[in-house]
Structure 1
Amino acid sequence: MTPDPVPISPPATEITDWARGYARRHPVAALQTVGRQVTLGQRAVRHLVTDIAARRFPFGEFTAQAAFMVKTSLLPTVAVALPISATLSIQFGLLAGQVGATALAGAASGLAVIRQSAPLVTAILLAAAVGSALCADLGSRKIRDEIDALEVMGISVLRRLVVPRLAAGVIVAMALTGVSCFVGFLAGYLFNVYVQDGTPGSYLATFSSFATSGDLYLAMVKGAVFGVIVVVVACEKGLNTKGGPGGVANSVNAAVVASIVVLMVVNLGFTQLYTMLFPRTTL
């Protein structure tokens, strides 16, 4: 007597069931991930301050990680800042020419580079280059049980691995933001003067008239916060890697995507708060 054939559900039913299950699981998993990242960031910042005060901060690991981050992200940051700044110069130059305010092209493009382009480009490159590397490193250690071995030996993974990477990420992010500001402004100046036939004195005069030190402070604060976000998200994803080598790839992908999404949202919040707290009467 032959057994009854196993009924096969149609593809539409399988897709519907998966979508319903994903809709039930994803909000809870997302909240758990955000909670882990916030907790990790708070503990890492607290240990960073206390370890520096107690002279237990691992400066050797900090130096090695900072050198690695600079080597990994410096050239890509410069390479991306140049065309973006040139593109902004083109767009603002065309817009200024249409309204008969070509003298304001320097102020518009320069402020756009310092306020928005430089910190955001630096953060995205850090997330793509540095964040992926940090997540892959910690994820590989996780699946090789090195993280558990450190905990068994009484070595704090947070203090030994996360804290020096957090400090290095903040310092490197601020430094690269400054480099990106300089490169972006220089690229916009050269493009406006030598390609769009702008006046060098007008470009510099309008920029110095409207730009303030607060714009540079905002860029540096953005760089520091963005560095914290990139490192915390990458470390959290790496330390919670599961599923072998394939899980490392999934963690890296999730870390890069999550970092960029959070960076965009936080950048929007920074911009709106700065505009509300420090309004400009004229431009």
Structure 2
Amino acid sequence: MAAPSVAPHEITGRSATGEITGWVRGYLRRHPVASLETVGSQVVLAVQAIRYLVVDIVRGQFPFREFVLQSVFMAKTAYLPTIAVALPISATMSIQFGLLAGQVGATSLAGAAGGLAVIRQAAPMVTAILLAAAVGSAICSDLGARKIRDEIDALEVMGVSALRALVVPRLAAGIVVALGLTGLSAFVGFLAGYLFNVYLQDGTPGSYLATFSSFARVGDLYLAMVKAVVFGIIVTVVSCQKGLSTKGGPGGVANSVNAAVVASIIMLMLVNAGFTELYTILFPRTTL
């Protein structure tokens, strides 16, 4: 007895439906689930690294030499790009604030608006993005290369914790360098805004400084410093986690570096928005 014939379009329809369903299931496994696993591993790594950092400092076992080497490397890598980016961003903000203040008849407030924007927003974000692009990529490529050469596994076999020997000093260096570069970026940004307002927009030096000192608060600097610490932790932890999870040879190192930079910048933007909103709610500014 002959088998029942099946129309070609029915076979095509079933196979297409199966392929679409399989692709959707695979996408959910590859992206949302993998993203949650990655974030979870980064949180665990951050908690362990901070705990070991405190314990090693208290016990006198902190790898100070590696910390100094990493700090010098990070500072040398990022300070020139930070200055180069802070100058045009601050100048652009000064120009825009000056034009807006002139349109509403509040030219004297240009110093307050520009200076506060630089300290509270521009300086920490410029520093964090440059850390992610320059320092984070270097950290990830270094640890990724060690991973594919089995150096990390060799350390573990010899009883040396890769987390304490490699991640902890980089975390401490990232925090210190982020604080220093944020202060440098704030100074350069404020100076650039001042020069543009006074010499290119015919502003008054005394008015610029007076309005800034009237509206700026110590809490604004504290906010910038807290942001710098958190941003330094984020960049270092994400870069270390991506480097230590590298697979697939030299091509895998390149993929890890790309993923580390992108993930760091996205997380920095989200955390910065949360910090800004929380600070605005907790410490509302009554007049400006």
- Shorter-chain TM-score range: over 0.9
Residues 1-283 of structure 1 correspond to what in structure 2 (within 5 A)? Answer: 18=23, 21-283=26-288
* Shift in Å, 1:14: 7.0
Deviation at 1:227, TM superposition (A): 0.1
Q: How far apart, in 2, do the equivalents of 1:255 and 1:200 lie?
A: 43
| Structure 1: gaps (5+ residues) | 1-6
Aligned AA (1:182): F
Counterpart CA distance in 2 for 1:73 and 1:13 is 50
Q: Distance in 2 between matches of 1:141 and 1:180?
A: 33
Runs of 4 or more off by more than 6 Å in structure 1?
A: 7-16
User: 2:59 is matched by which residue type in structure 1?
Assistant: A
User: Structure 1 vs Structure 2: percent identity of aligned residues?
Assistant: 76
Which whole-Å CA distance do the structure 1 matches of 2:181 and 2:130 have between them? 10
In the TM superposition, residue 26 of structure 1 has moved relative to its aligned partner by 1.0
- Hey, what's the Cα distance between the residues in 2 that align with 1:19 and 1:70? 45
Extract unaligned runs of 5+ from structure 2: 1-10
- 2:8 is matched with none
| Letter in structure 1 aligned against 2:283 | F
Return the letter of the residue paired with 1:104. L
Deviation of 1:21 after TM superposition, in Å, equals 2.1
TM-score normalised to structure 2 length: 0.93
Question: Residue by residue, what CA displacement relative to the aligned partner does 1:194-225 show, whole Å, maximum 9, x if unpaired?
Answer: 01111100000000000011100100010010
**What is the root-mean-square deviation in Å for CA atoms of aligned residues?**
1.8
For 2:19 and 2:257, the matched residues in 1 are separated by 28
Q: Determine the C-alpha separation between the residues in 2 that align with 1:280 and 1:135.
A: 40
Residue 3 (structure 1) aligns with: none
User: What is the CA deviation profile of residues 222-252 of structure 1, one whole-angstrom value per residue up to 9, with x for unaligned ones?
Assistant: 0010000000000000000000000000000
**Counterpart code for 1:26:** H
The residue type equivalent to 1:248 in the other structure is V
Residues 61, 201 of structure 1: CA spacing in aligned structure 2 closer, same or farther, 3 A cutoff? same
Letter in 1 for 2:205: P
Query: Within 2, Cα distance between the matches of 1:11 and 1:115?
Result: 53
CA gap 1:245/1:14 in 2 versus in 1, 3 angstroms:
farther
Q: Residue 155 of structure 1 aligns to a residue in which SS?
A: coil
Write the distance in 2 (CA, Å) between the matches of 1:143 and 1:83. Answer: 40
